[in-house]
Amino acid sequence: MASEYEGRQDYVRDIELPGIETVRNMYPDRDYTVEVEYPEFTTLCPKTGLPDFATVRISYVPDERIAELKSLKHYFIAYRDLGFFHENFTNRILDDFVRAVDPKEAHIEVRVNVRGGILTTVRRSYRRKGV
């Protein structure tokens, strides 16, 4: 049975977003963890058009590159006027982050503020094969 949401998220993998810039990691021979938290993430509910507010946490073990934070902030801000379901923007953010930074491993946790009495947390992990 098709839901009223059918087709509302078909574009999420193809939408153009600002690139995440990187800088050279001066210590690629060491495994260490970088944690980034963005507590001001906003996007729109694709059904109601109302804003959803969330905290995005990314934890990663860099290899040759590290994320440049100003470009990451601009990347997050680009979601402000787009309609995404929580699960979809969480997966999209991690996909884009991994593609840009190419870390040894990365984890994302998105905690969406309470809406309609429901608090949503979405987590996903990535580990490069062979690491």
Active-site residue set: 45, 52
Phi, psi of 98 (to 5 degrees): -65, -40
If we measure between CA atoms, which residue out of 38, 52, 120, 123 comes closest to residue 82?
52
- The answer to whether 80 and 40 have CB atoms below 8 angstroms apart is no
- CA neighbours closer than 13 Å in the CB half-sphere of residue 122: 16
For residues 121 and 8, give the distance between their C-alpha atoms in angstroms, rounded to a whole number.
21
Q: Is the dihedral of CA 46, 76, 97, 59 positive or negative?
A: negative
